[in-house]
C-alpha cells in the first residue's frame, strides 16, 4: 500500500521492506503524510530535494509532507527498512503539550542518530507496531496511536540531528559523482587527491579545482567531513575506543582526529560521546 493511498480512516501505517544492495528508485516522489524512516540494517543514499544524504543502519530519517525524495541502496548486502506513515493531525494534542520541542523536530526533514539504548527501544517498538497492524485486536487504533507517540518521544529523547554535507546533484558531472562515490565507499582507506585523480585519469590540479567548484568543498574538507560523519555515528552507537574509531574511519592518527573533531564540533570526541550516548547496558 502506498502512503497516499491509505484510507482517510487509517492514521498510522507501518511498512517493512527488504531491499537488495542494487535497488534504485529512479523517480522522485512526495507524500501528504509524515514519513518516519528507520534503517534496521544496511546502507542507503537518500536524495532529498535534489541533495544527497547518506544513511547507515540505525539511522532515522524524518521526511515532512511535500518533500521530494527517492532512494538507492549502497551496501554490499541487502537492507531492511521500516517506514511509519503518520497523519500528524491524528497525534494526541497532549503529546505536544507535554513535549513542545517535538513540534520543532517534526517541522523539518532531518537525519537523526539514536544512541544505543534508543536504537534498541525504537527497533523493539517498531516490531510491536508491525505485529499490531496485522491483528484485529480490540482498540488497535488507540494502541497504535500510543505506540506512535512513544516512538516519537523516544526518538526525541535519545537522538541527535546529524550534521551531514548536502551536495547539490544538479551541479554534478559523471567524474565528480564517481569521485564522491569512491570517497563515500573508501573513506576508511588511505585516500589522496593524487590517488583519486589518477583513478579518474584527471590532472590533479584540474580535478581539485573542479571538485571544489562543483561541490563547494575542497577534496580534503569533503573527505574529512565524511570520515567525521562516520566517526560521530560510531561514537554514539558503539563502545569502541576513540583510537580504534579514528583508525577505522581512515584517520592517520588519533591525535589528528581529536584536533579535527574539536575544531569541527567544538568539543572532544570523549565529551561528544558523553553528551550524546546512553549506554545500552543501563537500559535507560
Exposure pattern of 25-63 as b/e (b: 16+ CB <10 Å)?
eeeeeebebbbbbbbbebbbbbbbeeebbbbbbbbbbbb
Which pLDDT score, from 0 to 100, does residue 283 have?
Answer: 36
- For residue range 161-178, list pLDDT tens digits in order: 886 655 655 556 888 888
| Residue 47 located in a structural domain | yes
In 3-state terms the chain splits into helix, strand, coil percentages (rounded to 5) of 50, 20, 35
Q: Over the stretch 6-24, which tens digit does the pLDDT of each residue have?
A: 666 789 999 999 888 767 6
Range of the domain at 101: 3-161
Give residue 71's pLDDT band: very low, low, confident or very high (50, 70, 90). Answer: confident
Q: Which residue has the higher pLDDT, 25 or 126?
A: 126
Q: How many domains does the chain have?
A: 2
122 sits in which H/E element: helix 116-133
pLDDT in tens, 206-217: 999 999 888 878
For residue 90, the domain's CATH number is 2.60.120.280
User: Are 96 and 102 in contact, with CB atoms under 8 Å apart?
Assistant: yes
Q: Which of 16-25, 132-141, 145-154, 234-243 has the lowest mean pLDDT?
A: 16-25
Q: For cell 543501563, what's the residue? A: 282
Residue % of the chain over a pLDDT of 90: 46
Among the listed residues 59, 265, 37, the one whose alpha carbon sits nearest the alpha carbon of residue 158:
59
Domain shared by 11 and 78, yes or no: yes
**Is 284 part of any domain?**
no
Tell me how far apart the terminal alpha carbons of the chain are, to the nearest angstrom. 35
Of the candidates 94, 103, 93, 83, the residue with the CA atom closest to the CA atom of residue 3: 83
Q: For the whole model, what pTM was predicted?
A: 0.71
Amino acid at each position: 500500500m502506498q502512503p497516499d493511498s491509505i484510507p482517510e480512516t487509517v492514521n498510522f501505517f507501518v511498512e517493512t521492506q527488504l531491499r537488495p544492495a542494487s535497488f534504485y528508485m529512479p523517480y522522485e516522489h512526495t507524500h501528504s503524510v509524515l514519513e518516519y524512516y528507520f534503517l534496521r540494517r544496511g546502507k542507503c543514499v537518500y536524495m532529498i530535494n535534489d541533495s544527497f544524504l547518506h544513511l547507515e543502519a540505525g539511522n532515522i530519517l524524518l521526511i515532512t509532507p511535500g518533500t521530494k525524495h527517492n532512494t538507492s541502496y549502497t551496501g554490499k548486502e541487502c537492507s531492511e527498512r521500516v517506514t511509519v506513515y503518520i497523519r500528524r493531525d491524528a497525534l494526541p494534542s497532549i503529546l505536544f503539550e507535554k513535549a513542545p520541542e517535538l513540534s520543532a523536530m517534526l517541522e523539518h526533514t532531518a537525519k537523526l542518530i539514536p544512541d544505543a539504548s534508543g536504537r534498541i527501544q525504537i527497533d523493539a517498538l517498531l516490531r510491536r507496531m508491525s505485529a499490531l497492524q496485522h491483528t484485529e485486536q480490540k482498540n488497535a487504533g488507540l494502541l497504535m496511536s500510543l505506540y506512535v507517540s512513544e516512538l516519537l518521544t523516544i526518538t526525541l529523547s535519545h537522538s541527535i540531528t546529524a550534521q551531514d554535507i548536502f551536495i547539490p546533484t544538479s551541479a554534478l558531472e559523471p567524474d565528480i559523482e564517481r569521485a564522491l562515490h569512491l570517497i563515500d565507499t573508501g573513506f576508511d582507506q588511505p585516500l589522496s587527491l593524487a590517488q583519486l585523480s589518477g583513478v579518474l585519469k584527471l590532472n590533479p590540479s584540474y580535478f581539485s579545482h573542479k571538485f571544489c567548484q562543483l561541490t563547494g568543498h575542497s577534496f580534503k574538507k569533503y573527505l574529512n567531513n565524511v570520515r567525521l560523519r562516520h566517526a560521530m555515528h560510531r561514537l554514539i552507537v558503539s563502545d569502541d575506543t576513540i583510537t580504534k574509531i579514528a583508525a577505522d574511519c581512515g584517520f592517520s592518527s588519533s591525535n589528528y582526529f581529536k584536533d579535527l573533531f574539536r575544531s569541527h564540533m567544538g568539543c572532544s570526541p570523549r565529551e561528544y560521546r558523553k553528551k550524546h550516548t546512553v549506554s545500552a547496558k543501563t537500559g535507560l
